[in-house]
Amino acid sequence: MRRWLPGFVALSAIWGASFALIMVAVETGVPPLWVALWRCVLGAVTLWTILVLRGERASRDRALWGHSAVVAVLLNTVPFTLFSFGETRVSSVLAGVMNATTPLFTLLFAVLTVPEERRPGARRLSGLALGFAGVLTVLGVWRGIGSGEAAGGLACLAAACCYGAGFAYLRRFLSGRPESVVTLSAVQIACATVELALIAPFAAGAPHWPGAGAAGALLVLGAVGTGLAYLLNLGLVRTAGTAVASAVTYVMPLWSTALGAAFLAEPVGWNALVGGVLVIAAVALTRPRPGPRPAVAAAGTAAAAPRPGQTVR
């Protein structure tokens, strides 16, 4: 058995399960902003604990914190809130499929903002068009876009768009920095925590105890899905390369669909299945062709920054 396979399965399951965990929280009445905030608080505690145990110190470089604050808005503060809001109107199954469009948006923003990114050829442009068709199928546009379900789907799509913009910004301004990935992740999630803490109490009121089930879901979502998963992803990139790590994108919708249907009794409509297949096929088309595998970076460095086609949560 390939030694990277257990980490691959674990990472895809953790990120695929995040949509079901969000649903458990919002169904008990936890406001979307508070779902996002608790997710970041618990993720930050986990990452900073790991940072301390590794004997590392966070840099005080203002440029690092400034760029990390922007990345936090695009990769955490806004999309975490949008996905939570979206799941008050759509199933976790649909949210998971919408999340699979992230590599398409990553490619789009990378082409627009990253100078060294090659212009997409006909194959990758075809992939973008196919992905757009898949999104329209998942949304069920023939039913109109005025329904609450359509609004929730669009919120999830906007969250994936934020991820794409965030990864492009991350690659341009933070991927070449000398700090370890643990340090960069800890700083980023800390910034997101502060941003949400300044907004949530005023926009969503005071927090309340949601019950043991929802509290457990938030704990796993934050500590595991927004904390330990970062390290699993880094380990996967190092042991198997970015091509294998990016393939997590294909498996996450399978987990989100299976868990939503099995544990939350969510219906799986034909349009979600067909649209999901189209989106995954589109992601396959837009991935760069394999080239020589780059040398593995020194342990903990930021050289494993995501490229177009790679998904990181």
How confident is the model over 214-257, as pLDDT tens digits? 999 999 999 999 999 878 887 777 777 666 666 787 788 889 99
Q: Measure the CA angle with vertex 194, ends 192 and 195; round to 5°.
A: 65
How confident is the model over 182-192, as pLDDT tens digits? 899 999 999 99
Q: What phi-psi label fits residue 192: left (phi over 0), alpha (psi between -120 and 50 degrees) or beta?
A: alpha
- Separation CA 103–CA 199 (nearest Å): 29
What is the Cα 260 distance to its own chain's centre? 18
Q: How far is CA 185 from CA 10, 164, 174, 208, 305, in A?
A: 19, 17, 11, 28, 11
Helical spans, DSSP H, in the chain: 5-27, 32-53, 62-72, 78-86, 92-99, 102-113, 122-139, 148-173, 181-204, 212-219, 229-240, 242-246, 248-263, 270-286
Residue 70 CB neighbours (<10 A): 17
- Separation CA 92–CA 17 (nearest Å): 9
Which pLDDT value is given to residue 88? 95
116 CB burial (10 A radius; 0-12, 13-18, 19+): exposed
Whether the predicted pLDDT of 20 surpasses 50: yes
Which pLDDT value is given to residue 6? 86
Which pLDDT value is given to residue 181? 84
**pTM score of the predicted model:** 0.85
- Separation CA 141–CA 255 (nearest Å): 25
Enter the tokens of residue 166. Answer: 């965030």
Query: Would you say 249 and 60 are in contact if contact means Cβ atoms under 8 Å apart?
Result: no
Which pLDDT value is given to residue 297? 34
Whether the predicted pLDDT of 76 surpasses 90: yes
Q: What is the mean pLDDT of the chain?
A: 83
- Separation CA 152–CA 158 (nearest Å): 10
How confident is the model over 107-150, as pLDDT tens digits? 888 777 766 555 667 787 788 888 888 887 887 766 655 566 78
- Separation CA 168–CA 308 (nearest Å): 8
Which pLDDT value is given to residue 289? 64
The candidate with the shortest Cα–Cα distance to 308, out of 165, 162, 176, 206, is: 165
Give the sign of the dihedral formed by CA 48, CA 54, CA 60, CA 62.
negative
Which pLDDT value is given to residue 290? 58
Which pLDDT value is given to residue 119? 66
